[in-house]
Chains A and B, each alone.
Chain A
Amino acid sequence: MAQPHNTETGVPHEAGHSTAFPPLDPNNFAPQLIWLAITFAALYTVLSRVALPRIGEVIEERRDRIQRDLDAAERLKSETEKALRDYEQSLADARNKSGAIARETRDRLAAETERERAEVDAAVNAKIADAEKRINEMKTTALSSVNDIAAETAGAIVGKLLGEDVSVAEVKKVL
């Protein structure tokens, strides 16, 4: 069926172009429309099922990714700014606080030193008083013993000189 049909339409074409203008020749309509339908349907199927969803996915993913990254950068930026602000704040706080601590410590140390000095003073004073007392005692004992020794010594000397024993009481009486 197709064979004779084809040769029939083919011949007048070869014979003269002026008879049928190819782009408008009805003999060409059927094959063109059929192959248009076939290729278009095939192309549509491939594109709508495979190619386009794939491209759409990649573009969508990239757009999401860029948006996410931008958002993240924005967030990190504000976080950094906040951290810097906090840091400045804490630095200022610390500076204030350290001043206070220094003052307090200085005061405390001064008071401590004062107290220690007072303690030492008191201890030294006590020791001095003690020592003075002991010296006084020693002086009186020494003085009284001096008398005894003097009497003894005088008695011994007198005894030697007189050749007789002289008691201490006698010497004392004499003295």
Chain B
Amino acid sequence: MSTDDNGQGPGSGKLSPHDRAQFERRVSELGDKLGKVRAEQAAEDAANRGSATRGRGMSYGIRMASELVAAVIVGGLMGYGLDLLLGSKPWLFLLFFVLGFAAGVLNVMRGYTRLQADISRETGGKIGHSVPDDED
């Protein structure tokens, strides 16, 4: 009998198998919870980034459209003002109207290039995550 007591010595006063199972369950639950929180954070970040990209795209669109019109207006007004100043009626107005249109188209082209660069950077970043040897 005394040998059996010795055998239980180190174990007694610590954990019963039931307690230990409980502990293990709680640890794994904690792990699950932590994983969920991390995943939620990542999802939220991704959603934020996605909506930001959409918002920027929309802003680009509105910007391009309104700057196309605005450039024509600015060109026309400048030509009209110079005509009044120099007494060269309709010619400078016509010239600047055309220049304004060119500037508007330039605005749109620049905006488009910028938007494409943004998109490629955005998607490039996404691809970069899944392809390890791809550089940033």
CB B59 to nearest CB in A, in angstroms, measures 22
Is residue A70 contacting chain B, with contact meaning CB distance below 8 A? yes
For the complex, count residues of B whose C-beta is within 8 A of A: 20
CB A105 to nearest CB in B, in angstroms, measures 5
Return the chain B residue nearest A83 by Cβ.
Answer: B23
In the complex, A95→B11 CA distance in Å?
A: 9
Interface contact A94-B3, CB-CB below 8 Å: no
Interface contact A73-B10, CB-CB below 8 Å: no
Top 8 nearest A-B pairs (CB, nearest first) are: A98-B7, A102-B3, A94-B10, A77-B30, A80-B27, A101-B6, A105-B3, A98-B6
Contact mask for chain B residues 16-40; partner A; CB cutoff 8 A; 1 contact, 0 none: 0000100110010011001001100
Contact mask for chain A residues 100-127; partner B; CB cutoff 8 A; 1 contact, 0 none: 0110011000000000000000000000
CB B70 to nearest CB in A, in angstroms, measures 16
Interface contact A99-B27, CB-CB below 8 Å: no
Contact of A80 (CB < 8 Å), options: B3, B15, B23: B23
**Additional A-B contact list (17), CB under 8 Å, known A77-B30, A101-B3, A102-B4:** A73-B30, A73-B34, A77-B27, A81-B27, A84-B20, A84-B27, A87-B20, A91-B10, A91-B11, A93-B10, A94-B10, A94-B11, A98-B3, A98-B9, A101-B7, A105-B6, A106-B3
In the complex, A74→B15 CA distance in Å?
A: 23
Is residue B130 contacting chain A, with contact meaning CB distance below 8 A? no
Q: Point out the residues of chain B lying under 8 angstroms from A77, CB to CB.
A: 27, 30-31, 34
Is residue A145 contacting chain B, with contact meaning CB distance below 8 A? no
Q: Point out the residues of chain B lying under 8 angstroms from A81, CB to CB.
A: 27
Interface contact A95-B7, CB-CB below 8 Å: yes
Q: Point out the residues of chain A lying under 8 angstroms from B10, CB to CB.
A: 90-91, 93-94, 97-98
Return the chain B residue nearest A105 by Cβ.
Answer: B3
Q: Point out the residues of chain A lying under 8 angstroms from B3, CB to CB.
A: 98, 101-102, 105-106
